[in-house]
């Protein structure tokens, strides 16, 4: 789980968190998640692997405000070898859901060509497959 404290600059004139910040928090949580499962971004980039966002969606459940503590749980919703779909559940200190979100990613090499993880990075492929099947959880 990743924890984010809402900063003043992330709020709008009404005093609530601007909706665009939730996508930034998703990226923070995703990077933390990859680190927790043993595949941090630096390691992936050293291997020549990049994972651009293909799509993002958010459903805002209740507002957050300055200094709120937001816990973000990341899970692998689906992994089919080429695309990775992640779910994000963001809750406040009271355990109330603030935002439900999803992101989809593909895997490319440094030249922007699709990568078949099963063949080229079997250990990473196995980790994601186990997470998608619920056989493994975040460390």
For the annotated catalytic residues, the residue numbers are 12
SS3 13: coil
Q: Which of 21, 2, 1, 23 is nearest to 64 (CA)?
A: 21
Tokens 């816990």 locate to 71
> Is residue 45 within 8 Å of residue 82, measured between CB atoms?
no
Q: Which of 12, 6, 33 is nearest to 91 (CA)?
A: 6
C-alpha dihedral over 94, 36, 86, 70, to 10 degrees?
A: 20
Q: Which helix (H) or strand (E) holds 106?
A: strand 97-106
């Amino acid at each position: 789980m990743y924890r984010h404290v809402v900063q003043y600059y992330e709020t709008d004139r009404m005093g609530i968190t601007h909706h665009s910040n939730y996508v930034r928090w998703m990226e923070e949580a995703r990077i933390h998640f990859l680190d927790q499962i043993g595949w941090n971004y630096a390691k992936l980039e050293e291997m020549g692997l990049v994972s651009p966002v293909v799509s993002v969606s958010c459903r805002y459940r209740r507002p957050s405000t300055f200094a709120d503590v937001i816990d973000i749980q990341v899970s692998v919703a689906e992994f089919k070898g080429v695309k990775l779909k992640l779910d994000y559940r963001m809750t406040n200190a009271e355990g109330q859901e603030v935002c439900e979100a999803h992101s989809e990613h593909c895997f490319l090499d440094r030249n922007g060509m699709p990568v078949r993880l099963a063949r080229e990075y079997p250990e990473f492929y196995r980790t994601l497959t186990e997470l998608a099947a619920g056989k493994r959880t975040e460390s």
